[in-house]
Amino acid sequence: MRSNFISNIIKLLIFLSIGLFLLWLASRTLDEQGWTEMKNSLKGVNYLFVLLSIFAGIFSHLIRAMRWNQMIQTFGYKPKLYNAFFAVMIGYLANYVFLRMGEVMRCGFLARYDEPPADKLLGTVISERVVDLCILVILFAITILSQYQLLSSFFYEKIWSGLSTKFSNLFGTGTFSKLLILAAIGLIVLAVYLLFKKLKIADRLNRFLAGIKEGVLSIKNIKNVPLFIAYSLAIWVMYFLMILLVFYSLEATAHLGLAQALTILVFGTFGIIAVQGGIGAYHLIVQQVLLLYGVSAASGLAFGWVSWGVQTVLIVIVGVISFILLPIINKKSEGGFFSSVQT
């Protein structure tokens, strides 16, 4: 337990360091005039649009909880909507501290305060991620095709070339290096298998994996497919509105429209995926994208701070509130007051 805690702290510090480095990259080209421009942009924020963006974010997470409930109901459980929503928000909050552990904690909290077992819940979350990834790929394709000349060079120079260089440095380019990596992976898999067999925990692992598999396959048993599709699209529409509303909150980006908001949504999502909480990576990516649309580096960085701040403040505040309310409401529900709340 102590070693896991230390490991998570080390990972957090590593990703925080990466984020701070990326923030430095985003701001290092700003001269005194640029810093003044960024500060003036932040001072002139229209907080009405920021508030509306926060509401759009809350609504997106509520829809996610509704879609999650629809998937959970395919194997006979009907968790309460408020429990699902609180668990979703706690999961997002946990991702800021425990790298990629938010999904596990989300399932654990719902399993603790409601009916479904955690292994099946984890399977539904994996299915959710697959669906969201498919939507992201489609949006990425639409974005590139609709603005091919402008964005293809950006994607190649800023993202693909960097990733390909990292992977080539890691794995090497020769045939021998690739064979060596494959052999190492094979040995690791074999060693893990023999260890599980020796410790006689294979049956427990198989039951756990079977639960995850059942959760993953729950997507094919959804009764109301059109509603599921509507939920999935609505989540991303809310994400899109969050970006668009922040555009309107800043004078330097108020003239930008739907195409630019879609581009920021797609490329900004890559930044959030790449670094824990998106800090640094999100700011740098949206700054570089906005340069393509004639927004200065200073104003682009200001937009990055406001947009990232909206998402972060929302998750931290609502996540903490959810963490506090989840046990309180479920304790009260035993007395019957909340037991009548239906999904």
106-127 confidence digits (pLDDT tens):
988 998 888 788 777 888 888 8
Nearest to 184 by CA among 196, 174, 176, 194: 176
Range of lowest pLDDT (31-45, 59-73, 74-88, 164-178): 164-178
pLDDT of res. 276: 72
Q: Against a cut of 0.85, is the pTM above it? A: no
Neighbours of 331 (CB within 10 A): 11
Are the C-beta atoms of residues 283 and 304 closer than 8 Å to each other? yes
Please give the backbone phi and psi of residue 255, each rounded to the nearest 5 degrees, phi first: -85, -10
Percent of the chain with pLDDT over 70: 69
The mean pLDDT of the chain is: 78
pLDDT 10s digits, 130-146: 888 889 889 988 988 88
pLDDT band at residue 49 using 50, 70 and 90 as cut-offs? very high
* Three-class SS of the chain: CHHHHHHHHHHHHHHHHHHHHHHHHHHCCCCHHHHHHHHHHHHCCCHHHHHHHHHHHHHHHHHHHHHHHHHHHHHCCCCCHHHHHHHHHHHHHHHCCCCCCHHHHHHHHHHHHCCCCHHHHHHHHHHHHHHHHHHHHHHHHHHHHHCHHHHHHHHHHHHHHHHHHHHHHHHCCCHHHHHHHHHHHHHHHHHHHHHHHHHCCHHHHHHHHHHHHHHHHHHHHCCCHHHHHHHHHHHHHHHHHHHHHHHHHCCCCCCCCHHHHHHHHHHHHHHHHHCHHHCCHHHHHHHHHHHHCCCCHHHHHHHHHHHHHHHHHHHHHHHHHHHHHHHHHHHHHCCCCCCCCCC
Q: Show Cβ contacts of residue 193 under 8 Å, excluding neighbours closer than 6 positions.
A: none
pLDDT of res. 249: 94
pLDDT 10s digits, 273-303: 877 777 788 888 898 899 889 899 899 999 9
pLDDT 10s digits, 203-256: 545 554 555 555 556 667 788 889 999 999 999 999 999 999 999 999 999 999
Range of lowest pLDDT (167-176, 222-231, 265-274, 302-311): 167-176
Question: How far, in Å, CA of 107 to CA of 125, rounded?
Answer: 8
Q: Is 195 exposed, middle or buried (0-12, 13-18, 19+ CB in 10 A)?
A: exposed
Distances (CA, A) of 268 to 53, 222, 282: 16, 31, 5
pLDDT of res. 272: 84
Q: Which two tokens stand for residue 331?
A: 């304790």
Question: How far, in Å, CA of 231 to CA of 127, rounded?
Answer: 14
Cα dihedral across residues 311, 313, 318, 324: positive or negative: positive
